[in-house]
Amino acid sequence: MTTSIRRILIADDHDIIRRGVRMLLETRGNLRIVAEAATGREALAAARETKPDIAILDYTLPELNGRDLTLELRKEFPKIEILIYTMHDREDMILDVLLAGARGFVLKSDTEKHLFAAIDALSIHRPYFSAAISETLLEQYLRSKPQGSFSTLSHREREVVQLIAEGKINKQVAELLNISIKTVETHRSVAMQKLKLRTTAELVRYAVRNNLVEP
């Protein structure tokens, strides 16, 4: 945990939430609340006046939502860190604010240790996502994993692709992997279909581009 003073802006349209976050953070000597805001535009004006290190933003802010406010803050203050502190955990919303420049995301239903952990991480310019958000992001990534990537191949298919790209013929691959030539041909065919490749030359170029073999 950093010991230098971090200047904090809190933006939430619920007064009780702002007061609660303020009281919680003020228990730590290295955190100073420099501004509070009930709307997105108030938060932007307060940031211009106080230049905080970290902005803790709700997503559903009146006048200027958390995503658009994040864009504005990151544009005007490139070094500011944004923590989204909200009750909403929709995948599209999470990805939206991350693309806008937020690097922390904690749910209001998470325990206070996550809020402190996020502040500590952002204080040294590292991202932080609570466990629930990390799981959501991982699930979304796995569902959106692009087809035609090396990661879509099985372990054996990856071995066959690499050996062929290294110049081995089917018989040599079969001997090295202790499988039949027919099995090698099957793995090679399936892998090339997955990678959307038609020739061995294309396979070699793919392997070089993806650093599977040396050019």
What is the set of domains in the chain, with CATH numbers?
Answer: 6-143 (3.40.50.2300), 150-209 (1.10.10.10)
Q: What is the CA radius of gyration of the chain?
A: 25
Which pLDDT score, from 0 to 100, does residue 148 have? 59
Tens digit of each residue's pLDDT, the chain (215 residues): 445 899 999 999 999 999 999 999 999 989 999 999 999 999 999 999 999 999 999 998 998 999 999 999 999 999 999 999 998 877 778 888 888 899 999 999 999 999 999 999 999 999 998 877 777 676 665 565 555 566 678 888 888 988 998 889 999 999 999 999 999 999 999 988 888 888 888 888 888 777 676 66
pLDDT recorded at residue 205: 85
pLDDT value, residue 1 = 42
- Supply the pTM of this predicted model: 0.66
